[in-house]
Chain A
Amino acid sequence: MEQPGLWGRVQRRFEGSANSVFIWPAILMVLFLSIFPLIISLYLAFSRLKFVPGGFEIKFVGLANFRKLLVGTEKNHFLGKTSHPSLLGWLLFVLFVGLLLLFLLRYIRGSEFSIGGLIFRGVIVAVLTLFAWLVIQTLSPGGRPGTMVITWVYVFVGIAIQYTLGLGLALLVTQPLPGRRFFRVVFLLPMMITPVGVAYMFRMMTDTDKGPLQPIWQAMGLGLYSWVTDPWGARSAVMIGDIWQWTPFMFIVLLAALEAQSIEQREAALVDGANRWQILRNITMPQIFPVSLTLVLIRMIEAFKIVDLPNVLTNGGPGTATESLTLHSWISWRTLDIGGSAAIAYSLLLVVTFFGIAYVNILRTRVAE
């Protein structure tokens, strides 16, 4: 066999590396846009900004910003004020921990068991138990949730309601009802409005004194009640706005999933005499479960970043009742506590990553089943 000449070897070498040459610009762009800011903000989380003659200096302060959040002056703001749980609180905590232990037990008994996997899941269970304890303690009478727990309330309560409503609406428009095409479009409209627009709209609607719904509030005897002065009223207003905006997203994806499911199983079930509830529970839900899993994950990642609604609607008030983690970070940033702001943002990143991993790991086995 004839050996290629020098030129041939060079040519072959170039051809071999051509793929990577083409992909490098994209990789560099990703590095520049994602990794670089991530590294810079990590450095900022360990530093403090100071203005000095001629400009500013960024002083490295180690873990000071995180210490301030977790045990220092910002602890009550970030983690909240804890209190002894009520009986209901204890019951909920025990129930939650029981479910986590069940998950662990199922893994131990399962076919995929490994020591590494057990340690990994054990860490997830331990951290989730700690988080649950924080939630129970800060939501108990005498306690006060910090921005961390308020964000979790927005995320988990909001998404649960959004999913339920979205699924209900999707099931409704799959029925042969008159005008369902029209409603498919109408249900999507809230998603098209910017979150700031939604926030201003809800600001008007929750105003019992001069908003467009004022006659209704008056008639209901709520003329002298203010949603946004009461902590849970304000949180509810934020959540209703968020639910109103994002239920359509759930609706449209679940509708697609429902329409894509195979019809044969349902027909067979109908022939066997199954009722609608049995079909929904045993056939439809398992079929749309993988889509639901991804859908909730996407919404969860997005919902952790909620900022527009509480910012416009209440400025995080009354007190700090509606302040989310992102808003907390934003408020620190706009007062040029750049290090504190970056520390909050990194805490949020860690929490979102943790919940994402935990969620996928706990539920992935069910998809595989």
Chain B
Amino acid sequence: MKTKLGLSLSLLVLLSLIMSACVAAPPPQVQVVKETVEVIKEVQVPAEPDAKPYEGVEINILTFTGPQIAEPLQRRGPDFAELTGAQVNVVVVPFSDLYQKILTDVATGTDSFDAWVFAPQWMVDFIVPGYVEDLTEKIANDPDLEWDDVAPFFRNFSASYQGSIYTIPLDGDFHMGYYRTDLIDEPPTTWDEYLAIAAEFHGQDLNGDGDPDYGSCISKKRGAQAYWFIYDIAASMIQSQGTSQGTFFDTETMEPLVKNEAFAKALEINMATTEFGPPDELNLDVGDTRSLFTSGRCALSLDWGDIGTLAIDPDTSVVQDKTGAMILPGSTEVLDRETGKLVPCDDETCPYAIDGVNHAPFAAFGGWSGGINAAADDLVKAAAYDFFSYMAQPAQANVDVTIGLTGFNPYRTSQFLNRKGWVEAGMSPQAAADYLGAIEGSLASPNMVLDLRIPQNQRYQQVVLDQAVSQFMAGEITAEEAMEQIYVGWEEITEELDREDQLKAYTGTLGAE
């Protein structure tokens, strides 16, 4: 009986529940809300995961014969294609041909290349005729790029010109010194110490293969990238009053600062390093000196950040955990620009000296950066921008800068702060601290030397400077003749392009207006 009653109650409850569920809901109250929406910016709606916004789009990118720089572009291209559908074609030419290849392609309207990864130093030659796309707005609307994380120097010098942004930095370039920590306890702080240490180790067997090795390895090949190294030495004696003082020209007259005791001594020191270098040093490019250092054949070397990461590659390096990095050596004497003579460092002549030594770390080159051809199709330009942004976003960039083969060196603040990535890549904590500390110290230096970035700087450096320095190194001309040759050659270009315009451009890059 009890069971029947319970069953009946349960059925009743269930029935009532079903009944209540089937009863129609009361009609909703309609409220009309009037609202004015103002569109203040274009919002980029992220694509559906499956959609490929650039399906069928091809991006032709020109850069220099690698493997450095081209390698990460080629490696990341297929990943980008997977994400967006855009196919990335990387075309390479030798470094010495890159400038004219880009300019002749765009100037003649051929426009075979939609984007370039090139030297930001040349940017001005591309911006004035309107060949390169202004990326300011795109970067402002691209939170994934984490633009504020890019170190200020690279944002301002490598990417911007007259307040607008034209390139996306993919690499941070700074010249620094390298030394063998298993041989040298105290790295050299002056060029005299550099020579003394080089002399001490020259001719010794440094890698245990039975052959005598070298005290110093510096790239000195003509027509390569060697002409930057003379300024590693010269700048420490020419510039002492801070970045805006400039190293290449007088900021009031645009007169080349090459006919003076400082430049003469720099030539002399550069020549002296040859005595402690490989016999064919005058025919070695940076690739050669890097492999000499990583194969354990050099006690000291000068390079961009590349040796630091190449040294950790177990396949090619025998100097893992034996490679120390240092800020470029400095000088205890600096140039008095009034007299052209060298004077000792004191509080007035060298306000930024460290222990009496004036360091002038040289931001040679400025780091490879991606620029986009303004004449490319809009969709291709958008795809090229997204590709450069993808390459520069921390997820990719933080890995690439730790791989020696990429040629990419750190340029984001977070890359300096977080050393975990470097240790994971194979550096010892000490080596990572050393390496990043040397770059960070250079970047933070108030006396940092900005590379030349004025119209046709390539003629000033890659033609006149390179030729005179290599002729001097080969013994074809004396130091005085070399200085005269650079002076006359630079003056000729300045006169040809208009002294006032060039001076304005020079002081503009230095922030000395």
Please name 5 further chain A to chain B contacts, defined as beta carbons within 8 Å, in addition to the given A208-B280, A229-B281, A318-B470, sorted by A numbering: A51-B129, A227-B280, A228-B280, A318-B476, A333-B100
Are A316 and B222 in contact, CB atoms less than 8 angstroms apart?
yes
Instruction: Please indicate the chain A residues that have their CB under 8 angstroms from the CB of B278 in the complex.
Output: 209, 226
Instruction: Please indicate the chain B residues that have their CB under 8 angstroms from the CB of A316 in the complex.
Output: 222-223
The smallest beta-carbon distance between B267 and chain A, in angstroms, is: 13
- For residues 221 through 268 of chain B, which have their beta carbon under 8 Å from a beta carbon of chain A? 221-224
Binds A, one of B22-30, B342-350, B458-466, B503-511: B458-466
The smallest beta-carbon distance between B51 and chain A, in angstroms, is: 38
- Complex Cα spacing A321 to B473, Å: 12
Q: Is B57 an interface residue (CB 8 A)?
A: no
Instruction: Please indicate the chain B residues that have their CB under 8 angstroms from the CB of A224 in the complex.
Output: 279
The smallest beta-carbon distance between B463 and chain A, in angstroms, is: 5
- Complex Cα spacing A333 to B99, Å: 11
Contact of A315 among B222, B471, B473 (CB under 8 A): B222
Q: Is B379 an interface residue (CB 8 A)?
A: no
Q: Which of A53, A72, A73, A144 has the most CB of B within 10 A?
A: A73
Instruction: Please indicate the chain A residues that have their CB under 8 angstroms from the CB of B280 in the complex.
Output: 207-209, 226-229
Instruction: Please indicate the chain A residues that have their CB under 8 angstroms from the CB of B97 in the complex.
Output: 334
- For residues 245 through 301 of chain B, which have their beta carbon under 8 Å from a beta carbon of chain A? 278-283
Q: Is A17 an interface residue (CB 8 A)?
A: no
Q: Is B8 an interface residue (CB 8 A)?
A: no
- For residues 310 through 350 of chain A, which have their beta carbon under 8 Å from a beta carbon of chain B? 314-321, 331-337
Contact of B459 among A77, A314, A335 (CB under 8 A): A335
Known contacts A315-B221, A336-B103; A55/B279 CB under 8 A? no
- For residues 35 through 81 of chain A, which have their beta carbon under 8 Å from a beta carbon of chain B? 48, 51-56, 72-73, 76-77, 81
Q: Is B104 an interface residue (CB 8 A)?
A: yes
Instruction: Please indicate the chain B residues that have their CB under 8 angstroms from the CB of A77 in the complex.
Output: 467
The smallest beta-carbon distance between B216 and chain A, in angstroms, is: 15
Are B473 and A318 in contact, CB atoms less than 8 angstroms apart?
yes
14 A-B pairs with C-beta separation under 8 A = A51-B125, A53-B129, A53-B130, A55-B129, A207-B280, A226-B280, A231-B476, A315-B224, A315-B283, A318-B282, A318-B474, A320-B470, A321-B474, A336-B99
Are A331 and B223 in contact, CB atoms less than 8 angstroms apart?
yes
Are B470 and A317 in contact, CB atoms less than 8 angstroms apart?
yes
Known contacts A209-B279, A226-B283, A229-B279; A55/B476 CB under 8 A? no
Nearest A-chain residue to B104, judged by Cβ: A336
The smallest beta-carbon distance between B212 and chain A, in angstroms, is: 8
Chain A: residues with Cβ within 8 Å of the partner, total of: 38
Known contacts A228-B283, A331-B223; A51/B103 CB under 8 A? yes
Are B474 and A317 in contact, CB atoms less than 8 angstroms apart?
yes
Digitize B440-467: 1 where CB-to-A-CB distance is under 8 Å, 0 elsewhere: 0000000000000000001100110001
- Complex Cα spacing A51 to B496, Å: 13
Nearest B-chain residue to A56, judged by Cβ: B107
Instruction: Please indicate the chain B residues that have their CB under 8 angstroms from the CB of A227 in the complex.
Output: 280
Instruction: Please indicate the chain B residues that have their CB under 8 angstroms from the CB of A56 in the complex.
Output: 107, 129
Q: Which 10 pairs across A and B sit closest by C-beta, in order of nearness?
A: A319-B474, A318-B474, A315-B223, A319-B471, A317-B222, A226-B280, A319-B476, A226-B279, A228-B283, A318-B282
The smallest beta-carbon distance between B379 and chain A, in angstroms, is: 24
Instruction: Please indicate the chain A residues that have their CB under 8 angstroms from the CB of B463 in the complex.
Output: 331-332, 335, 337
The smallest beta-carbon distance between A320 and chain B, in angstroms, is: 6
Instruction: Please indicate the chain B residues that have their CB under 8 angstroms from the CB of A76 in the complex.
Output: 485
Q: Is A225 an interface residue (CB 8 A)?
A: yes
- Complex Cα spacing A226 to B283, Å: 9
Q: Is B128 an interface residue (CB 8 A)?
A: yes
Nearest A-chain residue to B468, judged by Cβ: A319
Instruction: Please indicate the chain B residues that have their CB under 8 angstroms from the CB of A209 in the complex.
Output: 278-280
- Complex Cα spacing A77 to B492, Å: 15
Q: Is B112 an interface residue (CB 8 A)?
A: no
Instruction: Please indicate the chain B residues that have their CB under 8 angstroms from the CB of A319 in the complex.
Output: 222, 467, 470-477
Q: Is B488 an interface residue (CB 8 A)?
A: yes
- Complex Cα spacing A76 to B467, Å: 12
- Complex Cα spacing A185 to B264, Å: 56
Nearest B-chain residue to A61, judged by Cβ: B496
Instruction: Please indicate the chain A residues that have their CB under 8 angstroms from the CB of B496 in the complex.
Output: 48
Instruction: Please indicate the chain A residues that have their CB under 8 angstroms from the CB of B99 in the complex.
Output: 334-336
Are A337 and B459 in contact, CB atoms less than 8 angstroms apart?
yes
- Complex Cα spacing A53 to B224, Å: 30
The smallest beta-carbon distance between A31 and chain B, in angstroms, is: 22
Q: Is B96 an interface residue (CB 8 A)?
A: yes
Instruction: Please indicate the chain B residues that have their CB under 8 angstroms from the CB of A55 in the complex.
Output: 107, 129
- For residues 398 through 441 of chain B, which have their beta carbon under 8 Å from a beta carbon of chain A? none
Digitize A224-256: 1 where CB-to-B-CB distance is under 8 Å, 0 elsewhere: 111111010000000000000000000000000
The smallest beta-carbon distance between A229 and chain B, in angstroms, is: 5
Instruction: Please indicate the chain B residues that have their CB under 8 angstroms from the CB of A225 in the complex.
Output: 279
Digitize B474-501: 1 where CB-to-A-CB distance is under 8 Å, 0 elsewhere: 1111000000010011001000100000
The smallest beta-carbon distance between B172 and chain A, in angstroms, is: 26
Are B476 and A321 in contact, CB atoms less than 8 angstroms apart?
yes
Instruction: Please indicate the chain A residues that have their CB under 8 angstroms from the CB of B96 in the complex.
Output: 315, 334
Instruction: Please indicate the chain A residues that have their CB under 8 angstroms from the CB of B125 in the complex.
Output: 51
Instruction: Please indicate the chain B residues that have their CB under 8 angstroms from the CB of A231 in the complex.
Output: 474-476
- Complex Cα spacing A332 to B462, Å: 10
- Complex Cα spacing A227 to B280, Å: 8
Instruction: Please indicate the chain B residues that have their CB under 8 angstroms from the CB of A51 in the complex.
Output: 103, 107, 125, 128-129
Are B221 and A335 in contact, CB atoms less than 8 angstroms apart?
no
Are A73 and B283 in contact, CB atoms less than 8 angstroms apart?
no
Q: Which of A51, A72, A209, A331 has the most CB of B within 10 A?
A: A51
The smallest beta-carbon distance between A75 and chain B, in angstroms, is: 11
- Complex Cα spacing A56 to B472, Å: 35
Known contacts A317-B282, A320-B471; A335/B462 CB under 8 A? yes
The smallest beta-carbon distance between B485 and chain A, in angstroms, is: 8
Digitize B80-121: 1 where CB-to-A-CB distance is under 8 Å, 0 elsewhere: 000000000000000011011001100100000000000000
- Complex Cα spacing A280 to B329, Å: 68
- Complex Cα spacing A314 to B280, Å: 10
Instruction: Please indicate the chain A residues that have their CB under 8 angstroms from the CB of B281 in the complex.
Output: 229
- Complex Cα spacing A228 to B282, Å: 8
Are B129 and A52 in contact, CB atoms less than 8 angstroms apart?
yes
Q: Which of A48, A209, A318, A321 has the most CB of B within 10 A?
A: A318
Are B223 and A229 in contact, CB atoms less than 8 angstroms apart?
no
- Complex Cα spacing A334 to B64, Å: 14
Nearest B-chain residue to A228, judged by Cβ: B283
Instruction: Please indicate the chain B residues that have their CB under 8 angstroms from the CB of A54 in the complex.
Output: 129-130
Instruction: Please indicate the chain A residues that have their CB under 8 angstroms from the CB of B475 in the complex.
Output: 231, 318-319
- Complex Cα spacing A336 to B105, Å: 12
Digitize B118-149: 1 where CB-to-A-CB distance is under 8 Å, 0 elsewhere: 00000001001110000000000000000000
The smallest beta-carbon distance between A55 and chain B, in angstroms, is: 6
Nearest B-chain residue to A203, judged by Cβ: B283
- For residues 173 through 198 of chain A, which have their beta carbon under 8 Å from a beta carbon of chain B? none
Instruction: Please indicate the chain A residues that have their CB under 8 angstroms from the CB of B224 in the complex.
Output: 315
- Complex Cα spacing A229 to B142, Å: 51
Are A229 and B488 in contact, CB atoms less than 8 angstroms apart?
no
Are B283 and A229 in contact, CB atoms less than 8 angstroms apart?
yes
Are A314 and B283 in contact, CB atoms less than 8 angstroms apart?
yes
The smallest beta-carbon distance between A219 and chain B, in angstroms, is: 14
- Complex Cα spacing A169 to B282, Å: 37
Are B103 and A73 in contact, CB atoms less than 8 angstroms apart?
no
The smallest beta-carbon distance between B348 and chain A, in angstroms, is: 38
Contact of A335 among B100, B130, B283 (CB under 8 A): B100
The smallest beta-carbon distance between B470 and chain A, in angstroms, is: 5
Are A335 and B458 in contact, CB atoms less than 8 angstroms apart?
yes
